[in-house]
Each structure stands twice: as structure tokens, then as C-alpha cells.
Amino acid sequence: MLSDWRVIYIGGVFISLFLFILLVSKRKKSTADKILSAWFFFAVVHQALIGWYAFNKMSDMPALIGWELPFPFLHGPFLYLYILFLTGQQRQGWRNMLHFIPAVLVAGLMAWVLPLMPVAEKLGVVPSKFAPLFHVMVGGIMVSGVVYVILSLYLLRRHRRNVAVQFSNTDKITLNWLRYLIGGMGVIWIVVIFFESAASLYFVVALFIFFIGYFGIRQVGIFSNPPPAHEVYLPAVVRPEEPVLAVEKTTAADTDDSSPKVKYEKSSLTDAEAARIHAALTALMQEQQCYKDAGLTLGDLAKALNVHPAVLSQVINSKEASSFYDYINVLRVEAFKQLLLQPASQQYTLLSLAFECGFNSKTSFNRNFKKITQLSPSAYVKAMHINMQEEG
């Protein structure tokens, strides 16, 4: 049984190496790609040490014993920083390097402690006087793992909110890749905390590498160059911190019915400029019907209007009393209702007409239509006494 497990350990090493080569050979690597490449480099080394332990080769090279301890302190920071940069939530500066201080400190301690330990002590043949130090390190590894899984979940939650700001259709924007990474890391740390078996830990780590490889290769853009995408801006660009576009936050205690707060009172955008942008936006929608593009983003419209995406978002919020997502889907619903009135449309199904108007899924169409009209599409058609083609 153990030999079968060893094969999986070695397989994890080669899969890690293969994924690392794919990432390094990827053209036009983003910062997130570079972080993932560095992560897989250290994963290869870590997996090699795991395989070395699995085959009980410690006595052949006792100088390597103990050097596996700094690596677990790297995986949490790499996961967090990868998600941070992939989702565009990073901040400028050198502070991101602070996440690696625990790994550097542990490596420094190992450089000092390990030369002082005889081989028998490293192999566990005799008790080690440094045992309390190693227990502290193992505890630190557990704390690090849990903390960074929680921080990564927070980033994922915040990114999910950011997606709704920029995209007109969100149903097919999957966050599975990030969920797999965080979930896999969570399972590993559960094994670390609740199971004392080293074999179980090595087995789960190897399976996690296989898991990442399989889903990462299937996910377009992770290990290969993504196809041309719609114009998407980082959340920091959509909601910048510059005073010119700052938004004043108010609480319920600050709100007075007699003197209501203006949502964008700190913005330098004048009413005249906002009206001009809104008129241009309305004309663009009427002439080009951009809402029919299922992949339309806030960045696409901002680029077409030659305005900052945060300014456009502000104009839509103030002039339409709506978010970008709701604004576009209202236009799609109105276009659908107009399309229903055309006799030639009765030979098509409701869903095919919805796709023609820019919706990209039945779920999204039904949800938005009922939200806007208070009726389901089929109930609306029945109320209008229109005979439509049955859904296939």
C-alpha cells in the first residue's frame, strides 16, 4: 500500500514541475502569473522533499532534514497574493513582501539550528533539545494556514462584489478556479491540524497538485494565453482613491431628512458634464444598441465614450438611479418587449429572443425580467395575448 502512495508522491513532483514549465513558457505573463510561477517553483522543491521523505532516504542526505519546515509558510502567502493580483485588489508598494517574513525567519532559524544537531537527533533516534522550537514552528504553520485561507476567502467575497460593478451578465462568470485553490488549501490544513499521519498529509498534497493541474489546464488563461477579452478595469481603477472622485460615506446617524447628503458631493464632476456624458451614453445605446453584447462591461462603454470608468459609473448611478448592471438589463428587457410586438418574432422561442437582446442564460433572463416587470416572461406574454413558439 505504501508503495502505491509513493508513486502518487513522485507523481505530484512531476505534475508540479510540468505546471511550472507551462507557466514559465506562457507569453505575456501578468503579475499574478509570475506569482503563480514562483509558487509552483517552491511547490516543486517542497514536493521533492516530500517524495524524499516518503522513500525513507533521510539517512542518505541528513543535511536536508529539517529544511522542509520553511515551505509551509510560503503556500499561504502565495495563495493570498495570487488571488490579490489576479482579482486586481492589490495596492502599490513593498508591503506585500512582508507576508514572507515568517518563512524567511524560519529558514534563518534552520540555518542556525540544523548544523548544531547531530545526525541521530535529526533522525529522531535520540530526543532533540530543540524539540520545543520545532513544536512552536509546527503551531505557527497551522496558524499561518488557517489565517491565509480566511484572508483568501475574504478576497474572493470582495471580488464577487466587484464583478457585479463591471459586468452586464454575471451568470457565466465562474470563480471556480479560485474556489478550488482556496478549498484545496483548506483541506490540506484540516489534515495538518486534525491528522498526525505524515503519509496522509503527503497524499493530500499530491492529490491537490493533480487537482490544480486538471482544473487549471481546463480553465482558459491560467496556464495558457487567454483569448482577447472585453475591456475590464481593476477595482482600484473603477473606484479610485483620488480626491477628485472620492465618495463621501454617510451613516444613518449622519442623515437628516431636512438636509440630505449628496452621494458624490466630493466629486469634481459637474452637473453639466454629467448631463453631457449621460446624453452621449443614451445616444450610444440608441444608435449602436451596445446592450445586445452579452459580454458588455463598464470598461467597454467607458472606452467607447472616452471617459473614466469611475466617472461613467457615477453618471449611471446619479442620472439613472441604477447600477451599471441594472441599467443594461433594463435596456435588454425593454428591447425584448419591443421585439415581442413584431409578428415575425412569434416563430421564435422566448429564450432565443432573450439571447438576441443580450441575455446569456435563461436564469439571468427570467430573474431580471421579473425584477423589472414584476412578471415572469411567460406571464407577461400571456397578459399581452401573444402566441409564441414553445420552448424546445
Q: In angstroms, what CA-CA distances link 212 with 5, 52, 162? A: 19, 22, 25
Please report, for the chain, the start and end positions of each structural domain, with discontinuous segments joined by +.
Answer: 2-218, 235-249+262-383
Q: Which amino acid is at 110?
A: M
Q: pLDDT tier at 249 (50, 70, 90 boundaries)?
A: very low
Residue showing cell 494565453: 225
Q: pLDDT tier at 163 (50, 70, 90 boundaries)?
A: confident
Cβ neighbours of residue 123 under 8 Å, at least 6 residues apart? Answer: 58, 59, 62, 65
Partners of 297 in beta bridges: 167
Q: What is the pLDDT of residue 390?
A: 62
The region of weakest confidence among 42-51, 103-112, 189-198 is 189-198
Q: pLDDT tier at 4 (50, 70, 90 boundaries)?
A: low
Cβ neighbours of residue 203 under 8 Å, at least 6 residues apart? Answer: 5, 8, 9
CATH topology for the 235-249+262-383 domain: Arc Repressor Mutant, subunit A (1.10.10)
Q: What is the pLDDT of residue 2?
A: 46
Q: What is the pLDDT of residue 116?
A: 86
User: To the nearest whole number, what is the mean pLDDT of the chain?
Assistant: 78
pTM of the model: 0.68
The region of weakest confidence among 81-90, 229-238, 284-293 is 229-238
Query: Grid coordinates standing for 201?
Result: 498529509
Query: Grid coordinates standing for 42?
Result: 517552491
Q: What is the per-residue pLDDT across 72-81, written as a single tens digit (0 to 9) for each?
A: 899 999 999 9
Angle in degrees, CA 53, 58, 62, rounded to 5:
135
Reply yes or no on whether the pLDDT at 251 is more than 90: no
Tell me which residue of 194, 45, 64, 76 sits closest to 141, measured CA to CA.
Answer: 76
Q: What is the pLDDT of residue 173?
A: 59
Q: What is the per-residue pLDDT across 202-211, written as a single tens digit (0 to 9) for each?
A: 777 777 777 7
Q: What is the pLDDT of residue 334?
A: 93
Per-residue burial over 24-50, b if 16 or more Cβ lie within 10 Å, else e, is eebeeeeebbebbbbbbebbbbbbbbb
Largest CA distance in the chain: 89
Size (the chain), residues: 392
Interval 233-244 mean pLDDT: 46
The region of weakest confidence among 1-5, 171-175, 341-345 is 1-5
For residues 117 and 126, the answer to whether their CB atoms sit within 8 Å is no
- What are residue 297's phi and psi, to 5 degrees? -125, 165
CATH of domain 2-218: 1.20.1070
Interval 228-250 mean pLDDT: 45
Residues above pLDDT 70, as percent of the chain? 77
Residue showing cell 425580467: 369
Helix (H, G, I), strand (E, B) or coil at 63: helix
Q: What is the pLDDT of residue 152?
A: 92
Residue showing cell 521533492: 48
Interval 185-193 mean pLDDT: 84
Q: Where are the beta strands (DSSP E) in 242-309?
A: none
Residues above pLDDT 90, as percent of the chain? 20
Interval 310-334 mean pLDDT: 90
Q: What is the per-residue pLDDT across 100-156, written as a single tens digit (0 to 9) for each?
A: 999 999 999 999 988 888 877 877 767 778 888 888 988 898 899 899 999 999 988
Distance separating alpha carbons of residues 160 and 155, to the nearest angstrom: 9
The region of weakest confidence among 2-6, 14-18, 148-152 is 2-6
Q: What is the per-residue pLDDT across 276-299, written as a single tens digit (0 to 9) for each?
A: 999 999 999 999 999 998 888 888
Q: What is the pLDDT of residue 106?
A: 93
Reply yes or no on whether the pLDDT at 232 is more than 60: no
Distance separating alpha carbons of residues 204 and 192, to the nearest angstrom: 10
Reply yes or no on whether the pLDDT at 86 is more than 70: yes
